[in-house]
């Protein structure tokens, strides 16, 4: 397993990390992902650690805290061997104090996460979404206090727009608060919007990407193809409405190229899709998930080898889409591109 620094920080993370969204799964979304209990979770953690994957990502909103609880049980007795990433800010209840990133909410959410995880510190605490109702200075000063207390080591964001992330980074710089070193983002061959603004911002500001849903919400598993119905076991039957939108015809074109490269390399479609992401700028780690050991070992096979330059170019070409304004002139017109050449 290779390791990369998380953004401009000194925290070294594995290029693959494990997403614990299936742990303790319940409800219409997380229940469809899986329902891994503590015993099976411990086996999955064993497999990860044997492969060098020591970063485990969760969130308080995953199954109303059950994911954090199961992860805490799975790592019991080996806390020093793992890195824990968790997220907060999304609603955990119906009352106003149950959502957002106010000082009161962040302090309470962190204390609750520590209790559920059975630990006294969190390696990476990320805001799951931008809270427009709370001043960024209040958010950052609270995170500063949590870092100073030793309860949090590093801070990051997730699902921020470019201006939201940049505003937060500027305020942190101005006041001397901890800067976000990570941005957990959706990025896949079937969803490359991250490249328009957030990737250049991350490269400029030293914010590393932690990629969620690298298989496009289960669409790049190799089981979904043109002219065929969804497999009966696909979680898309229950969860498609919650995930990022994907153009079906574009998806099938991408899968055709993935199939061809799979035949050339002897690798699986998911392994190729994940490996492509690891070649992209600013990507610090790709978060993989699994319901069982066999699926996990398959996903771990995405590392230890490289796609050829020609294969990457074919995947780039088939997955490319026209950038929205104001980005498309910088891709299409020489004068614009000379001023601001793309980093990919």
Q: Of 85, 97, 91, which Cα lies nearest the Cα of 121?
A: 85
- Our separate counts of H helices and E strands in the chain read 14, 10
Q: Is 85 helix (H, G, I), strand (E, B) or coil?
A: strand
Q: What is the DSSP string of 91-114?
A: -SSSSGGGSS--HHHHHHHHHHHH
What is the helix (H) or strand (E) element at residue 152, kind and residue range? Answer: strand 152-158
Q: Which of 218, 295, 301 is nearest to 262 (CA)?
A: 301
- Give the span between the Cα atoms of 344 and 342, in whole angstroms: 5
227: three-class secondary structure by DSSP: coil
Residues in contact with 314: Cβ distance below 8 Å, sequence separation at least 6, in sequence order? 257, 260, 261
Residue 336: count of CB within 10 angstroms of its CB = 15
- Rg of the chain over Cα atoms, rounded to whole angstroms, equals 20
- Measured distance CA(62)–CA(80) in Å, rounded: 24
Quick one: pLDDT at residue 243? 79
CA–CA gap between residue 106 and residue 98 (Å, rounded): 10
Nearest to 75 by CA among 50, 36, 46: 46
pLDDT value of position 188: 98
> Phi then psi for 72, rounded to 5 degrees?
-60, -40
Q: Say which of 62, 186, 194, 330 is annotated catalytic.
A: 62
* Positions of the chain with pLDDT under 70: 233, 235-237, 239-240
**Cβ distance 194 to 338 under 8 Å?**
no
Q: What is the DSSP letter of 335?
A: H
Residue 120 phi, psi (nearest 5): -110, 5
pLDDT at 240: 67
Tell me if residue 62 is catalytic.
Answer: yes
H or E element, residue 286: strand 283-288
* Angle at which helices 38-51 and 293-300 cross, to 10°: 20
Nearest to 83 by CA among 108, 60, 58: 58
pLDDT, residue 26, reads 81
| pLDDT tens column, 212-251 | 999 998 899 988 888 887 777 676 647 667 778 899 999 9
Chain-centre distance for alpha carbon 100: 20
In whole angstroms, what is the distance from residue 282 CA to residue 305 CA? 19
């Amino acid at each position: 397993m290779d390791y990369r620094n998380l953004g401009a920080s000194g925290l070294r993370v594995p290029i693959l990390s494990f997403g614990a969204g299936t742990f303790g799964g319940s409800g219409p979304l997380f229940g469809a992902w899986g329902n891994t209990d503590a015993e099976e979770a411990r086996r999955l953690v064993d497999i990860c650690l044997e492969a060098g994957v020591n970063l485990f990502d969760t969130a308080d909103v995953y199954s109303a805290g059950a994911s954090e609880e199961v992860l805490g049980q799975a790592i019991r007795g080996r806390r020093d061997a793992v890195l824990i990433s968790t997220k907060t800010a999304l609603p955990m209840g119906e009352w106003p104090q149950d959502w957002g990133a106010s000082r009161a909410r962040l302090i309470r959410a962190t204390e609750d996460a520590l209790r559920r995880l059975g630990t006294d510190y969190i390696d990476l605490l990320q805001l799951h979404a931008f809270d427009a109702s709370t001043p960024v200075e209040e958010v950052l000063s609270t995170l500063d206090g949590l870092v100073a207390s030793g309860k949090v080591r590093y801070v990051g964001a997730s699902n921020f727009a470019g201006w939201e992330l940049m505003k937060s980074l500027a305020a942190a710089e101005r006041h001397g608060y901890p800067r976000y070193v990570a941005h957990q983002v959706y990025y896949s061959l079937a969803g490359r919007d991250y490249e328009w603004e957030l990737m250049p911002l991350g490269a400029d500001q030293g914010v590393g990407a932690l990629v969620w849903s690298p298989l496009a919400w289960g669409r790049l598993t190799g089981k979904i193809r043109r002219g065929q119905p969804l497999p009966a076991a696909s979680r898309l039957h229950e969860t498609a409405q919650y995930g990022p939108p994907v153009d079906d015809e574009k998806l099938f074109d991408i899968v055709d190229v993935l199939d061809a490269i799979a035949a050339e390399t002897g690798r699986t479609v998911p392994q190729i899709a994940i490996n492509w992401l690891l070649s992209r700028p600013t990507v610090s780690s790709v978060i993989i998930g699994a319901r069982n050991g066999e699926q996990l070992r398959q996903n771990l096979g995405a590392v230890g080898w490289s796609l050829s330059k020609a294969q990457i170019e074919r995947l780039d070409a088939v997955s490319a889409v026209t950038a929205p304004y104001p980005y498309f002139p910088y891709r299409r017109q020489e004068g614009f591109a000379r001023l601001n050449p793309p980093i990919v």
